[in-house]
Amino acid sequence: MKKLNLIYGIVFIFLISFSITSCSSDDDNDNSNSTFQETVENNTQTGTWRITKFIDSGIDETSDFSGYNFTFNGAGALNANNGTNSFDGTWTISSDGSDLDDLDLNIVFNLRNDFDDLTDDWDFISQTSTKIELIDIGGGGEPDDLLTFERN
């Protein structure tokens, strides 16, 4: 009986030791997510951008933003200017999870014109220093909205 208790004790200690050393931290994902978010924020704040694609509910409305340059300022201010008209909004990048796919570009224009259509929490499709491709997944059978910014 003592031998059996000793074996059970050794197995128990082994299992506890194994479970403690095999646990991993979610910090790795958070660091990757944070680094990606910082990279996106830095890229977005560099230079001016233009919309090269805007598909709203299946309709190509890219031309509504022709000639506008968008400036994403560090304080969260967003400006669209075509030399004649200037519209102000806000932008943030937020995360609703621990994966890179969970980052959103949140754009808000409190206007009653074409710029109001840009107000949304856009999911990233891809992002480079010169191009940002975004999507808003349509619900209830609605088509997805697509938005692409390219650096000037």
Q: What string of H, E and C letters represents the secondary structure of the chain?
A: CHHHHHHHHHHHHHHHHHHHHHCCCCHHHHHHHHHHHHHHHHHHCCCCEEEEEEEECCEECHHHHCCCEEEECCCCEEEEECCCCEEEEEEEEEECCCCHHHEEEEEECCCCCHHHHHCEEEEEEEECCCEEEEEECCCCCCCCEEEEEEEC
Q: What is the pLDDT of residue 141?
A: 85
Distance, CA of 139 to CA of 110 (rounded, Å): 23
Better-scored residue on pLDDT, 40 or 68: 68
User: Average pLDDT of the chain?
Assistant: 82
Q: What is the pLDDT of residue 110?
A: 92
Residue 132, Cβ neighbours under 10 Å: how many?
22
Question: In 3D, which of 81, 107, 79 has the Cα closest to residue 93?
Answer: 107
- Contact present, 52 and 150 (Cβ < 8 Å): yes
Distance, CA of 67 to CA of 70 (rounded, Å): 10
- Please report, for the chain, the start and end positions of each structural domain, with discontinuous segments joined by +: 25-151
Mean pLDDT of 19-48: 66
For the cut 50, the answer to whether the pLDDT of residue 9 exceeds it is no
Better-scored residue on pLDDT, 131 or 99: 131
25-151 carries CATH number 2.40.128.280 = yes
Q: What is the pLDDT of residue 93?
A: 92
Distance, CA of 84 to CA of 92 (rounded, Å): 26
Encode pLDDT of 89-107 as tens digits: 999 998 876 555 788 999 9
Encode pLDDT of 65-82 as tens digits: 999 999 999 899 999 999
